[in-house]
Chain A
Amino acid sequence: MKKPTATLLFSLALAGLVLSSSVMAGDAIAEGKKLAFNRKKGNCLACHQIAGGALPGNAGPPLMSMKARFPDKAKLRAQIWDPTVRNPNTIMPPFGRHEILTEAELDKVVEFIYSL
């Protein structure tokens, strides 16, 4: 009887972990969305069309199918942290390098953009 109980407990714990981490990711996506849409924070809508966002600008490409365009999440983060690395003439602000967003905020924005 001892073994199955341990297994059960173990699976329960695992399920709990998986559950809580997916809840965390969901929270990050929701918070990332708020940050991305907030004019004082990301204000990504100034230049990008994003599903669910009103009055988008069009200086940059629409943000969609991001997993296909950025199979490597780190590259997506790097683009948002400092887009001048890839394109020295870009109009897009360096959100990380100029501390427009904190590192933690940037992580959440990445989660949100990656979910598009």
Chain B
Amino acid sequence: MNKQLVKTLLTTVAIMLALSSVAQASPEEDRQAFVKFFHDRFPNVKGDDWINGVYAIDSASRAQWEEIEDFPPYEIYVDEGKKLFETKFANGKSLADCFENGGIGIKQNYPYFDTKRGEVVTLELAINECREKNGEKPWGWKKGKLAAVSAYMAWTSRGKKTNVKIPNDPRALAAYEAGKKHFYSRRGQLNMACAHCHMHYSGNKLRADITSPALGHTTHFPVFRSKWGSLGTLHRRFGGCNKQVRAKPFKAQSEEYRNLEYFLTYMNNGLPINGPGARK
């Protein structure tokens, strides 16, 4: 056979494989392939260490980070979040009344697909909706009080395994697929997908930054970032990463980002919650 023909055949086979996997892959098969990809790429990462992001793969920055963790910069936010969480609304109720188990130890179940509403509900969305339902003003989405309460709720959930479900509802699957599509689509003037930096080239250096594997991305949010000098939510980070490639970021808690969070968190099913976290 001549070389060109072999090449064409191989390409055809590759395309057929890609098509058949697109046609068949269930979210669970996606997740297993996703996990396998990272286990193959980073064979030295042990157990659940993925939850520590770039520090799971870069021993040099890990030492610095462990020192930071000795006096965690997010601790004051957890305290503030606890106070806010327990403060009664003007109507005498409080956030605890809106959540299962009084809001304690439930972060691992978020985001979830609400089959009555037909959309993805994140923990932050649920917190603000609880406030509004009780006649209080909603908080800003990306930092401040909302991030502090989310940090406290994550704190009470530490060690619980991420458990995102996709109910048997075509709209839930569509939300998952939309998030997946965002993750793998090129965007922005620089034409890069999340998957470029956090999957196929993860662990590479971009200037001085090593990009973290996407496996484990969601478990430690909200996060205290030294660069921000404050706590921020997952959607704040999404916006930052969209901007890096000169794409117009979506709004925090937009349907686009909620679906992205749904996909990304589903990929982390089984990994323990360790939020809030600290990063550079």
Contacts and interface: CB of A to CB of B under 8 A. Distances in A.
B190 A89 contact: no
Interface stretch (B169-177, B191-199, B252-260): B191-199
A59 B190 contact: no
Nearest to A58: B205
A55 interface: yes
B191 A46 contact: no
User: In terms of DSSP, what is the predominant structure of the interface of chain A?
Assistant: loop
Given A91-B196, A91-B197, A59 B206 contact: yes
A106 B109 CA distance: 50
Contacts of B204: 47, 57-59
A59 B208 CA distance: 11
Nearest to A39: B207
A56 to B, nearest CB: 7
B201 interface: yes
Contacts of B205: 56-59
B88 interface: no
B189 interface: yes
A57 B200 contact: no
Interface in A84-109: 84, 89, 91, 93-94, 98-100
B190 A100 contact: yes
B207 A91 contact: no
Interface in B204-239: 204-209
A91 B192 contact: yes
Contacts of B200: 89, 91
Contacts of B209: 57
Given A91-B197, A91-B200, A91-B201, A55 B207 contact: yes
A25 B221 CA distance: 52
Nearest to B246: A100
Interface of A: 43, 45-47, 55-59, 84, 89, 91, 93-94, 98-100
11 contacts: A46-B207, A47-B204, A55-B208, A56-B205, A56-B207, A57-B207, A57-B208, A91-B200, A91-B201, A93-B191, A100-B189
